[in-house]
Amino acid sequence: MKIQKILDIFAVLMVCVALYFAFIFAPSEKVMGAIQRIFYFHVSSAWIAFFAFFVTFVFSILFLIKQNYLFDDIAESSAEIGILFCTIVLITGPIWAKPAWGVWWTWDPRLTTTTILWFIYAGYLMLRKFIDEPDKRARFASAVGIIGFIDVPIVFFSIRWWRTIHPNVVQEGGGGLHPDMTKALLISVFAFTVLYAALLLKRTHIASLTRKIDSLEG
Amino acid sequence: MNYLRTISAVVKKDLLHELKSREIVVSMLLFSVLTVVVFSFIFEPGSEFKNRVVGGILWMSVIFAGLLGLNKSMMSEVDGGNFSALMLAPVDRSAIFFGKAISNFLFMTIVEAITIPLFMVLYNVNIFNTGFLPLVVFFLGTYGFAILGTLFSIISVNTRTREVMLPLLLLPVMVPVILASVQALNIYVLGNDVVESYKWLKLLAVFDIIFTVVVFAVFDFIVED
Amino acid sequence: MQSFNYLFAGYTVIFVLLGFYFVSIGSKVSDLEKRVDALTEED
C-alpha cells in the first residue's frame, strides 16, 4: 500500500521533470522546429509499450511453468498498460508525421509493426474478456502472449523487406542527436519506466483483488 | 513411432469424417471461388493493372476460406465432446494437435488445388510462367497458416463468442505469411526474376519452423485439464 | 507556429490518456478494496 503511494508520487514528479527537459532543456531541432519535441515522449512510449509486451511474454511463460495465478495477473496487467502506451505511440506518430513529412501516415516498418502489435494485444485482451473459467483463460491467454511476442520481430523484418521494394517516401533522419537531446530522451525514458512500474503495481493489485472477490463470492 | 501412428490416426479420422459429410471442404471451396469472383469487380476486366494485384487476391481468398474451414473443423470437434475425448486418450497430446493441423492443411490444399486453376482461367493469368515455385509458396504458407490456425481455433471455440475470436487473433499474427506469400506470388505473376522471391520463401520457412517448435513446446501446457 | 499547435495537440493527447487511465485504475483499486472488506466482514 505504502509503496504504491510513493511510486505514484515519484512517477508524477519524474514526468514533470521529463517535461521540463523535453520543452526547455533540450535545444530546438533546426529542420523540424518545435514539433520535434514530441520525439521524447513518443519514443519513450514506444519503448515502454515494447517492454510491457515483453513482460507479458515472460510472465506468460512463467505462468505455464509454475501455474501461479499472480503471474497471470501480471501478464494481463502489463498487456493492458502496453496497449495504452501503444495507443499513445500510434496517435502521436501521425501528429508528428503531418507537420514533419506532410502526411499523416506512412507504411514505415516501425509504424506498421507497432500497428500490428496493437492488434495482436487487443486480440489478447479481448480473448481474456471472452473466457469465463479463470484457469482456461490463463492458459489460452499465455499461449497468445507467447506466440504474439515471438511474432513481432518476424513481422518487423517482413515489413522492412516489403518497404525496401518500393521507394521509401520518407527516411527518418538517423543522424546523431545533440548530447542535450540524448539527455532529455534518457530522462523521459526513465520517467516513463517509473510510471510503468507504478501503473503495473496498481493494475496487478486490481487483478488480484478481482480474483479474490470472485473466489469469496464463489 | 507411436507418435507418428497417433498423428496418422487423427488425420485418418478427420478424412473419413470429411468424406462422409463433405461440409468443410465444400463450404471452403465455395467461399474461396466466390471471393475470387467478387474481387474481380475491383478493376476493369483485362486491364494491365490487374497483374500487380491478382497474387494478393488469390492468396487472400485462400486465407479467408481457411478461416472459415478452421472454425468449422474445430466446432464439429468440440460440439460432440469429441475433442475432450481425444484429450483423455493415453497418447501424446501434441501428436493429436499435429494430426488436426495436418488434416486442416490437407483440406486447404484440396481447396487450393481447385481454386488456383479456376482463378487462372477467370483472371487470365498464369502464375506458373516462371516455374513451379508458386507451389512451394502455397505449401509453406498453408502449413504456417494451418499450424497457428489450428491452435488459435482451439482457443477461439472455447470462448463465449466462439468463432468471432479466430480472425481477430490469427490475422495480425499471420502478417509475415500473408506479406511473404503475396509478394512472392506477385513476382511470379509479373514474370520477374525468381531469385527475388527466394528471401520470401526463406521467411516462410523460418516462420514455419519457429512456430512448429513453439507450438510443440507450448501445447501440452495449454490444454492441461 | 503551426508546428507548435501539433506539438501541443500531441502532448494533450498523451496527458489525457495517461491521466484518465491513472485516475480510473486508482478509483477502481479503492472500490475493490471496499468490496473485499465488506465480503470478509460478512463471513
pLDDT tens, residue by residue, B126-150:
888 888 899 999 999 999 999 999 9
All three cell numbers of C5, joined, read 499547435
pLDDT tens, residue by residue, B1-20:
788 999 999 999 999 999 99
Cβ pairs A/B, distance under 8 A = 89
Domain ranges of chain A: 55-166
Beta bridge mates, A29: A33
Which amino acid would we find at residue B46? G
CB distance A84–C18 less than 8 Å? yes
Instruction: Return d(Cα A191, Cα A15) in angstroms, integer.
Output: 5
Residue C17 with chain A: CB contacts under 8 Å: 84, 87-88, 91
Domain holding B33, by residue range, is: 2-222
Residue C28 with chain A: CB contacts under 8 Å: 206
CB distance B214–A147 less than 8 Å? yes
DSSP state of A35: G
pLDDT tens, residue by residue, C1-43:
577 888 888 899 999 999 999 999 989 988 998 888 888 886 6
In the structure, do chain C and chain B come into contact, i.e. share 3 or more CB pairs under 8 Å? no
Rounded mean pLDDT, A126-133 = 93
Our CA-based measurement puts residue A42 at a distance from the nearest CA of chain B, in whole angstroms, of: 23
Residue C4 with chain A: CB contacts under 8 Å: 33-35
Q: Is A33 helix (H, G, I), strand (E, B) or coil?
A: strand
Q: Which residue of A has its CA nearest to B170?
A: A120
pLDDT at B124 over 50: yes
**ipTM here:** 0.91
All three cell numbers of B222, joined, read 495449454
Number of separate domains in chain B: 1
Instruction: Return d(Cα B156, Cα B165) in angstroms, integer.
Output: 5
Q: How many CB atoms lie within 10 A of CB A25?
A: 15
- List chains touching A (3+ CB pairs under 8 A): B, C
Residue C29 with chain A: CB contacts under 8 Å: 202, 205-206, 209
Our CA-based measurement puts residue A88 at a distance from the nearest CA of chain B, in whole angstroms, of: 20
Residue A3 with chain C: CB contacts under 8 Å: none
Rounded mean pLDDT, B42-63 = 84
